[in-house]
Amino acid sequence: MAINISSFTAWITIEGRSCPIYALRNTSERDATCWIPSQEGKKFSVNWSNRFRDKPVFAQLSIDGVICSTHFMLDAWNYPDDADAIGISYATTSDFTRRDFVFSAIQVTDDDAYLYTLDSPPAFGTIRLELWEADIEQIVRAPFQHRYGGDVLEGQVIHEMSKKAGAHHVKFGGEYVPPPSRPFAFNYRPYDILLAGGIIPRSAPTQPRVAVKSEAVDDRIHALEAQLASLRAQKTGSTTHTSRPKFADLKTHWRSDPRTGKAVQVIDLTDL
């Protein structure tokens, strides 16, 4: 459940679940008050949204009288990618650490040293979110720098006769370092620089082809053709001229043709 004022909406979640509200009262068009049931030991978040984001808004969150957060929500016209809802669940305690908001039981005592709490009890029991329209002249984005020395929400002790004895208050939980972000970075350089730096692997060199002279290829072809012709002649001679000497018995040799320079087969017929 939530409170609505104009285009603004505010609500509390306790450990991720929306908290119910009771006795909602609007004292004016610009103010609203309600009650929520606190839960001892539970963490909670204060959330708000701006439906239109037509103007920049400055927000201040105070819990039990202690300012816990100040921030801006920028307008959608100049900053369309910014979120239109914000949730605050912790106070920043240093440049690197946080402490969550936690509902806690008030400690009571019968020590007379705390009698002053009867007349001026600590300011607890209220979570107050204030929103103001802002006029922003310039936006400077800079790394977060924490300001030390501010008020903190710690355990409260009051006299047992106080009317607020047994109630809850809010204190900061244990200090912790938030988990690191998970950025995705794409470093870039020209292709030649990446290649020279060994980032882009070089392809394996190709083996050069051995050039073969066409004349040698032609000579080999003629030699194979001559051998093929010889085999065919052997086959023909063995079937049609059985009385003549077999071609395989003939003496043959190879020599270079003086006219063409090509290798030719010579058959010796001197013994026939």
Q: 37 and 152 share a domain? A: yes
Q: 134 and 233 share a domain? A: no
In a domain, 69, yes or no: yes
Which residue among 153, 179, 205 closes a domain? Answer: 179
User: Residue 180 pLDDT > 80, yes or no?
Assistant: no
Residue 78 tokens, joined: 């100049």
- What is the pLDDT at residue 237? 64
46/139: higher pLDDT? 46
Which residue among 133, 160, 179 closes a domain? Answer: 179
Contact 165, 110 (CB under 8 A): no
User: Residue 250 pLDDT > 60, yes or no?
Assistant: no
CA distance 144 to 71: 12
In a domain, 243, yes or no: yes
Contact 254, 263 (CB under 8 A): yes
Q: 230 and 150 share a domain? A: no
Instruction: Compute the average pLDDT of residues 10-39.
Output: 88
Q: Provide the phi-psi class of 259: left if phi over 0, else alpha when psi is between -120 and 50, else beta.
A: alpha
User: Residue 119 pLDDT > 70, yes or no?
Assistant: no
In a domain, 198, yes or no: no
Q: 130 and 223 share a domain? A: no
Provide the pLDDT confidence category of residue 242 given band limits of 50, 70 and 90: very low
108/22: higher pLDDT? 22
Q: 103 and 38 share a domain? A: yes
Condensed to tens digits (0 to 9), the pLDDT of residues 208-232 reads: 665 556 777 777 888 888 888 888 8
* Phi, psi (rounded to 5 degrees) for 92: -85, 125
Residue 45 tokens, joined: 């978040």
Closest CA to 116 of 153, 78, 158: 158
Per cent of the chain over pLDDT 70 is: 67
Q: 33 and 153 share a domain? A: yes
Number of domains in the chain: 2
Q: 145 and 90 share a domain? A: yes
Q: 29 and 156 share a domain? A: yes
CA distance 257 to 205: 43
CA distance 183 to 166: 46
Q: 223 and 158 share a domain? A: no
User: Residue 272 pLDDT > 60, yes or no?
Assistant: no
Per cent of the chain over pLDDT 90 is: 18
**Chain mean pLDDT for the chain:** 77
Q: 236 and 170 share a domain? A: no
User: Residue 244 pLDDT > 60, yes or no?
Assistant: no
In a domain, 143, yes or no: yes
Residue 238: give the domain boundaries: 214-268
Q: 106 and 40 share a domain? A: yes
User: Residue 235 pLDDT > 80, yes or no?
Assistant: no
Q: 173 and 218 share a domain? A: no
Condensed to tens digits (0 to 9), the pLDDT of residues 62-103 reads: 888 888 889 999 999 988 989 999 999 998 888 888 889 999
Condensed to tens digits (0 to 9), the pLDDT of residues 37-70 reads: 998 899 999 999 999 999 999 999 988 888 888 9
CA distance 247 to 233: 7
